[in-house]
Amino acid sequence: MKISLIAHDRKKDDLIQFVIAYQEILGEHQLYATGTTGQRIIDETGLQVHRFQSGPLGGDQQIGAMIANNDMDMVIFFRDPLTAQPHEPDITALMRLCDVYHIPLATNMGTAEVLLKGLSEGFIDWRLIKSNSSRS
Ligand SMILES: O=C(CO)COP(=O)(O)O
Mean pLDDT of the chain: 96
Confidence of residue 136 (pLDDT cuts 50, 70, 90): very low
Domains of the chain (ranges, CATH numbers)? 2-122 (3.40.50.1380)
Convert the pLDDT of each residue in 66-89 to its tens digit: 999 999 999 999 999 999 999 999
Distances (CA, A) of 120 to 22, 26, 29, 60: 10, 9, 11, 26
135, 70 Cβ separation under 8 angstroms: yes
The reply to whether ligand 1 has any atom less than 6 angstroms from the CB of 55 is yes
Q: Is 60 a catalytic residue?
A: yes
What pLDDT does 110 receive? 97
Confidence of residue 134 (pLDDT cuts 50, 70, 90): low
33, 64 Cβ separation under 8 angstroms: no
Find the catalytic residue in 13, 43, 60, 99: 60
What pLDDT does 19 receive? 98
